[in-house]
Amino acid sequence: MPAQQKQQYTFEEVEKHNKEGDLWIVIDSKVYDLSRFADLHPGGPNVLYAEGVAGKDATDTFFGLHRHEVLLRPQYARLQIGTIQGEEEMIKAPIPGSLSKVPYAEATWLSDGYFSPYYTDNHRAFQQAIRKFFEEVVRPEAIKCEENGKRISQEVVDKMSDLNIIAMRLGPGKHLHGRTLLGGLVKPEEFDYFHELILNTEISRFGTRGFSDGMLSGATIGLPPVWNYGSPELQAKVVPEVLSGKKYLALAITEAFAGSDVSGLQTTAVRDGDYWIVTGTKKWITNGTFADYFTTGCKTEKGLTVILIERGEGVSTKPIKTSYSATAGTAYVTFDKVRVPIGNTLGAVGNGLSVILSNFNHERWMVTAMSVGAQRIIVEECLKWANQRIVFGKPLTSQAVIRNKLGKMITRIEACQNWLEIITHQMNNVRERICTAHRYLRPSRFFILNGDLLNIEYLIYCNTPSQQMTYNEMSSKLAGQIGLLKQFVSRCGRETAEDATQVFGGRALTVTGMGKLVENYHRTSGFDAILAGAEDVLGDLGVRQAMKRMPKDARL
Ligand code: HEM
């Protein structure tokens, strides 16, 4: 029944119902009849009969112990029998797609009254639509799968592919051409790395880290080598199957024998006429338990080669138990003399290292973007909790030590976001193009509009859809920066996870209840420091890349 049609009561009336078998309480102007629920209450019945709770307004006590979402669950919402006369609810249910008003809960560009040079109106519309879709369709699935460890349902995959979300997760490029993106909201040729950045940060807002990877991240990192290096026939078959969500694909590089040191891989592919015979094992393969295809790094006579292997005879997968949910489908994969057509070779034989390395940068950037999205939610959780939690009669925020932790969290998330955005801006623009535009600005083309000196060529340039970097360009220009960025973001993430755990105390140690997002983040933020390249290795890569670019004549 809508609130306005519910019975209205006064506090005096509610107060009469204050004992076992006849128990009413008020939470945020709503009257709940807990007479029969008391014995079923997960916190036990006695706490509900306490003085100051039974027959009283227990709003502050309630929000000190429960998340708002408890009241929205249908089985509890129906305990409401009315409202208090003349009072209005203060704590509103979030509207799907809406932005948080909590300071720093949103990136600056999404905060009221602030601006950014990077985002257009189209990015804003895209962010709003994608958040709404995720909150309405994907979040309930994420929570369910994170708990039961099952893979994302075909029904939700189909809904995502109807909007071409699987294709958009792979970033800008020719695979988007001819597709209707998000019901036509963004034109394929205008989809850029900032759209993709938005997609990645929004995906990680549910506090369900295992599910974020289970949401077909395998295809995001494993399909690009197929369209960048596969034969036209292979692309024509595999790309549509995967982007429509009808088949699943995983990237199978790491082994128990080799992780960041991919050159040490031991899975072998031996030529036998028109086939490769592949033998070996792969470990930590995201989405591997349910993948139909594996983009696989193999050792061949001529060096490392990447081969697309279809699940079939000789391919077996078993789940690996990790510290995050089995919904990610993390697998141990065994190839036992698997016959694979030579046509499934991705790139030249022996050129596997550059196929793998050129792919890594986009993957690392994606992991970083998801990490930033997840980190920001934790900052919001901590700000809300520290504000609402009362200790020694005062909010937690009255403690300087807590404010200090909040300050560090905010600093870290803002630093991560800003570095991520400037790198994304580089990915969106090929350098030569900018130089060309500026070099040819001719004085004769300047004019004055509304008091501003403008140049016609510059305006044309600025309003032309930007030209994104290819994976190879990313590899040569940004590998070091992305490596350092990823190292920085994952370190910040783990420091924030530690601080958040201190702010939430014991609540951060339970999988359900007030601190559940902090618990998940504390348990899983370490994944960001490992997936797509270990943190320390990436930091070192960044410095080695910088050393390569040192001018020969650089002296103090
Ligand atoms: C409509 C009223 C209420 C409902 C539907 C409700 C529901 C729940 C649920 C589902 C939990 C499990 C933890 C969670 O999911 O957050 C819980 C725990 C608890 N509840 Fe309630 N509750 C209500 C009112 C109250 C009130 C008024 C108190 C006041 C003392 C209270 C005290 C507790 C306590 C102490 C716990 C255990 C918390 C913990 O383990 O951290 N509940 N309640």
Q: Is the CB of 512 under 6 A from ligand 1?
A: yes
| Ligand 1 lined by 515 (C-beta under 6 Å) | no
Residue 44's CB is within 10 A of a number of other CB atoms, namely 10
Long-range contacts of 118-121 (CB under 8 A, 24+ apart): 118/194, 118/421, 118/424, 118/425, 119/194
Instruction: Give me the numbers of helices (H) and strands (E) for the chain, helices first please.
Output: 21, 17
pLDDT of residue 438 exceeding 80: no
- Side chain identity at residue 225, one-letter code: P
One domain for residues 299 and 320: yes
Q: What is residue 402's three-state secondary structure?
A: helix
Contact 23 CB / ligand 1 (< 6 Å): no
Measured between its terminal Cα atoms, the distance across the chain in Å is 76
Q: Ligand 1: which residue has its CA nearest to atom 32?
A: 43
70 touches ligand 1 (CB under 6 Å) = yes
Write down the pLDDT at residue 452.
52
Residues 374 and 341 in one domain: no
Residue 346: name the closest of 436, 427, 225 by CA. Answer: 225
My answer on whether 386 and 503 are in the same domain is yes
Instruction: Confirm or reject: Cβ of 419 under 6 Å from ligand 1.
Output: no
Lowest mean pLDDT among 153-157, 211-215, 302-306, 458-462: 458-462
Q: Domain for residue 536, yes or no? A: yes
Task: Say how many Å lie between the CA of residue 391 and the centre of ligand 1.
Answer: 18
pLDDT score at 365: 96
Indicate if ligand 1 lies below 6 Å from the C-beta of 513: yes
E runs forming strands in 216-330: 249-252, 268-272, 275-285, 293-300, 303-310, 315-319
Does residue 512 sit in the same domain as residue 372?
yes
| pLDDT tens digits, one per residue of 249-288 | 999 999 998 776 777 899 999 999 999 999 999 999 999 9
Element (H, E) at 159: helix 154-162
Integer CA distances (angstroms), 436 to 199, 430, 457, 470, in order: 31, 11, 11, 19
CA distance 297 to 341: 15
Residue 419 in any domain: the answer is: yes
- Say whether pLDDT at 2 is over 50: yes
Query: What pLDDT was estimated at residue 540?
Result: 96
Residue nearest (by alpha carbon) to ligand 1 atom 19 = 43
Query: Is 76 close to ligand 1, i.e. is its CB under 6 Å away?
Result: yes
| 61 CA from centroid of ligand 1 (Å) | 9
334 and 474 fall within a common domain: no
pLDDT for residue 465: 45
Length of the chain: 556
pLDDT in tens, 23-66: 999 999 999 999 999 999 999 999 999 999 999 999 999 999 99
- pLDDT of 321 above 70: yes
Are residues 439 and 480 part of one domain? yes
Mean pLDDT of 322-343: 97
Percentage with pLDDT > 70 across the chain: 92
pLDDT above 80 (res 442) = no
Would the CB of 79 count as within 6 Å of ligand 1? yes
The response to whether residue 61 sits with its C-beta less than 6 Å from ligand 1 reads yes
pLDDT on residue 447: 53
Minimal-distance CA residue to ligand 1 atom 26? 62
Residues 427, 297: one domain?
no
Q: How confident is the model at residue 178 (pLDDT cuts 50, 70, 90)?
A: very high
Ligand 1 atom with least separation from CA of 61: 29
Centre of ligand 1 to C-alpha 145, Å, is: 24
Confidence bin at 476 (pLDDT 50/70/90): confident
Considering its fold, how many domains does the chain have in total? 3
In whole angstroms, give the CA distance from residue 319 to residue 183: 36
Q: Which of 14-18, 99-103, 251-255, 451-455 has the lowest mean pLDDT?
A: 451-455
Work out the burial of residue 316: count CB atoms within 10 Å of its CB; fewer than 13 is exposed, 13-18 middle, 19 or more buried.
middle
DSSP character string of 435-493: HHHHHT--GGGEEEETTEEEEHHHHHHHTSPP-PPPHHHHHHHHHHHHHHHHHHHHHHH
Q: Would 42 be classed as within a structural domain?
A: yes
Cβ of residue 65 lying under 6 Å from some atom of ligand 1: yes
Yes or no: say if 182 and 126 are a contact pair by the CB < 8 Å rule: yes
Query: Which ligand 1 atom lies nearest to the CA of residue 80?
Result: 1
Kindly report, residue by residue over 494-553, the tens digit of the pLDDT: 999 999 999 999 999 999 999 999 999 999 999 999 998 899 999 999 999 999 999 999
Q: Which two tokens stand for residue 391?
A: 């200790």
Q: Is residue 100 predicted with pLDDT exceeding 90?
A: yes
Expressed in angstroms and rounded, the spacing between residue 144 Cα and the centre of ligand 1 is: 21
Q: What b/e string do you get for 207-230 counting C-beta neighbours within 10 Å, with b at 16 or more? A: bbbbbbbbbbbbbbbbbbbbbbbb
Q: Per the domain annotation, does 512 fall within a domain? A: yes
Q: Which domain holds residue 32?
A: 3-84
Q: Is the CB of 66 under 6 A from ligand 1?
A: yes
pLDDT > 70? residue 85: yes
Residue type, 76: Y
Quick one: 294 and 436 in the same domain?
no
Cβ contact 382:314 at 8 Å: no
Task: For residues 337 and 387, state if they share a domain.
Answer: no
| 516 in any annotated domain | yes
CA distance 171 to 174: 10
Residues 415-452, buried b or exposed e (16+ Cβ, 10 A)? ebbebbbebbbbbbebeeeeeebeeeeeeeeeeeeeee
Give the Cα separation of 16 and 11 in Å (integer): 9
User: What ligand 1 atom has the least distance to the C-alpha of 70?
Assistant: 10
Alpha carbon of 134 to ligand 1 centroid (Å): 28
Q: How many CB atoms lie within 10 A of CB 298?
A: 26
Place of tokens 């499934």: 344
CATH number at residue 307: 2.40.110.10
- Determine which of 175-184, 190-199, 272-281, 358-367 has the lowest per-residue pLDDT on average: 358-367
116 — pLDDT class (breaks 50, 70, 90) = very high
Which two structure tokens, joined as six digits, stand for 267?
Answer: 């899975």
| CB of 42 shorter than 6 A to ligand 1 | yes
Mean pLDDT of the chain: 92
Query: Residue 453's pLDDT band (boundaries 50, 70, 90)?
Result: low
User: What's the mean pLDDT in 237-246?
Assistant: 97
pLDDT at residue 432 in the model: 44
Q: Is residue 382 part of a domain?
A: yes
Report the residue among 23, 65, 69, 147 best suited for mutation to probe ligand 1: largest number of ligand atoms under 8 A from its CB: 65
- In a domain? residue 176: no
For the stretch 402-416, pLDDT in tens is: 999 999 999 999 999
Choose the final residue of a domain: 326, 350, 374: 350
Write the CATH number for 28. 3.10.120.10
Confidence of residue 466 (pLDDT cuts 50, 70, 90): low
Provide the CATH number for the domain around residue 372.
1.20.140.10
Backbone conformation region of residue 101, classed left if phi is above 0, alpha if psi is from -120 to 50, else beta: alpha
Q: Give the least confident one: 91-100, 105-114, 163-172, 441-450.
A: 441-450
Q: Is residue 432 located within the same domain as residue 539? A: yes
459 lies in the same domain as 501: yes
| Matching residue, tokens 């909790």 | 385
**What spacing in Å lies between the alpha carbon of 388 and ligand 1's midpoint?**
16
21 is a domain residue: yes
* Residue in 14, 59, 66 to alter for ligand 1 test, most ligand atoms within 8 A of Cβ: 66
pLDDT of residue 470: 81
For residue 139, report the distance from its CA to the centre of ligand 1, in Å. Answer: 23
* pLDDT for the residue numbered 323: 93
Per-residue pLDDT at 260: 67
Choosing from 300, 323, 350, the residue where a domain stops is: 350
Query: Ligand 1 test: best mutation among 41, 71, 89, most atoms within 8 Å of CB?
Result: 41
Q: Is the CB of 58 under 6 A from ligand 1?
A: yes
Q: Which residue has the tokens 């609540």?
A: 507
In this structure, the number of other CB atoms found within 10 A of the CB of residue 410 comes to 17
Q: Are residues 307 and 365 in the same domain?
A: no
For residues 54 and 296, give the distance between their C-alpha atoms in angstroms, rounded to a whole number: 63
How many percent of the chain have pLDDT more than 90?
A: 85
Q: What is the mean pLDDT of residues 135-140?
A: 96
Closest CA to ligand 1's atom 41 = 65
Q: Whose CA is nearest to atom 12 of ligand 1?
A: 42
pLDDT at 19 over 60: yes
Looking at residue 157, what is its pLDDT? 98
- Asked if pLDDT for residue 399 goes beyond 90, the answer is yes
Final residue before a domain boundary, out of 52, 84, 116: 84
